[in-house]
Amino acid sequence: MEVKDLGHIVLYVRNLERSVGFYRDVLGFRQIDPGALGFPAAAFTSASGRTHHELLLIEVGEDAEAQPRGRRVGLYHFGLKVGDSDDELRHALAALEEAGVTVTGASDHTVSHSLYILDPDGNEVELYVDVPGVDWRSDPALVVSPVKPLRL
């Protein structure tokens, strides 16, 4: 067997309406046929429409336990590519600030530049651009370069 692509991410959320607003209105995912699933969930695809759904949110209620912080097993974060240049990352930062979303981190990973945010349920989301001209395929060690602060 060989994995061809990362197909989709499924997240449990406390409040579907709040999370739909975040992923649709703040991050720009396109919702697929709201209400068609028949249970409290919402499916989304990206602007590219790469696949039938790249993100699925399933409501579990306000009393659901939070993700534990710190070192633990499970999801750390997931990354979403938001463009191909620092200008596009600056545009994303401005949109986040306008929406009142707090940026919890900003990193220069040599191969990519990243902003980190939390969704309404505390899941960490990385918004990134690949750095033009960095050939990590020829030098795979670049992927594990020391992380530096990002200055946009």
pLDDT tens profile 20-53: 999 999 999 999 977 777 899 999 999 888 888 8
pLDDT tens profile 115-139: 999 999 999 999 999 999 999 999 9
Structural domains in the chain? 9-59 (3.10.180.10), 77-149 (3.10.180.10)
- How big is the chain, counted in residues? 152
Q: Are 143 and 151 in contact (CB under 8 A)?
A: no
pLDDT computed for residue 115 by the predictor: 98
* Average pLDDT over the chain, rounded to an integer: 93
Helix (H, G, I), strand (E, B) or coil at 131: coil
pLDDT tens profile 53-108: 899 999 999 999 988 888 888 889 999 999 999 999 999 999 999 999 999 999 99
Report in angstroms the alpha-carbon separations of 90 from 23, 52, 77, 85: 19, 29, 21, 9
pLDDT computed for residue 3 by the predictor: 82
The vertex-127 CA angle with 125 and 128, nearest 5°, equals 140
Locate the DSSP E strands across 3-140. Answer: 9-13, 30-32, 41-45, 55-59, 77-83, 103-108, 112-118, 124-130
pLDDT tens profile 107-117: 999 999 999 99
Which amino acid, one-letter code, is at 85?
S
pLDDT computed for residue 85 by the predictor: 96
Check whether 4 has a pLDDT greater than 90. Answer: no
Q: Report the percent of the chain where pLDDT is more than 90.
A: 78
